Structures are given as C-alpha cells and as structure tokens.
Amino acid sequence: MSIFSSVTSITGRVAGDVKGSVRRARLEGERRVLERRHRAALEALGARTYALVDEGTLSADALAPEVAEVRNRLMEIDAALAAIGNGDDAPVQERSADIAFPMVADAVEGDAEAE
C-alpha cells in the first residue's frame, strides 16, 4: 500500500466521522428546538387553563392541587413585591401574573400591537 492510498483512506474516514458528527449535532439542535416549542406550548396551555379555572369556565376539581400551587406562587410573588414597596395591590397582582406567566404576557402584548 502506497503512502497516497493510506493518506486517502485516512482522510476519507476522518471526513466521514466529521460528517457524522455534524449530522448528530444538527439533529440534537433540532430536537432541542422542538423540546423548547413543546415546553412553550405546555406553558401556554397551563396559563390558559389557569385563566379558565379562575373565570369559572372550567371546573377546578381535577386541577385543584395545580391551581392551588399556582395561587400560592402568585401570593408569594405579591408578598415579595409588597415587601419591596411597589405600589398598591391592583398593580402588584397584574405584575405578579406577568411574572408567573411571562410568555402569555408577551403574546398578549404582541396581539395588541398587531391590531
């Protein structure tokens, strides 16, 4: 075997390995994008469900523990904001909901700007 055929063989294997690595990295990146989209959809679903339970449109029986947890987190946020000394209760509640569900607040602002 000549040195040229040896170098050609090694170069081919390295190129194949690099091509496989690039393909795996691309697929991993695509998977992460899909997971982020899935999480965002679940967050939006949770925020919408919480809003429907809060409005009384959806029964809270099956979701009672989850709704209670969200309400507890909102109360903690309200208490933290009140401790900081940010205004009266109405603006605090509005800000705490935006903090708890920022993706929904951004979507609502985007929809309002589009109209």
Say what percent of the chain tops pLDDT 70: 73
- In this prediction the pTM is 0.51
Query: What's residue 89's pLDDT?
Result: 47
Amino acid of residue 3: I
Angle at which helices 64-84 and 3-55 cross, to 10°: 90
For residue 62, name the pLDDT band (cuts at 50, 70, 90). confident
Please give the Cα distance from 20 to 38 (Å, whole number). Answer: 27
Other Cβ atoms within 10 Å of 76 Cβ, number: 12
Are the CB atoms for 81 and 92 separated by under 8 Å? yes
For residue 109, name the pLDDT band (cuts at 50, 70, 90). low
Query: What's residue 55's pLDDT?
Result: 87
Query: What's residue 105's pLDDT?
Result: 59
Instruction: Enumerate residues 6+ apart whose C-beta is below 8 A from 56.
Output: none
Amino acid of residue 70: V
Range of 41-45, 79-83, 106-110 with top mean pLDDT: 41-45
- The tens digit of pLDDT for each residue in 48-61 reads 988 888 888 888 78
User: How far, CA to CA in Å, does 81 sit from each of 67, 107, 113?
Assistant: 21, 23, 28
Please give the Cα distance from 75 to 81 (Å, whole number). Answer: 10
Residue 110 has pLDDT above 80, yes or no: no
- The tens digit of pLDDT for each residue in 66-80 reads 888 888 888 888 888
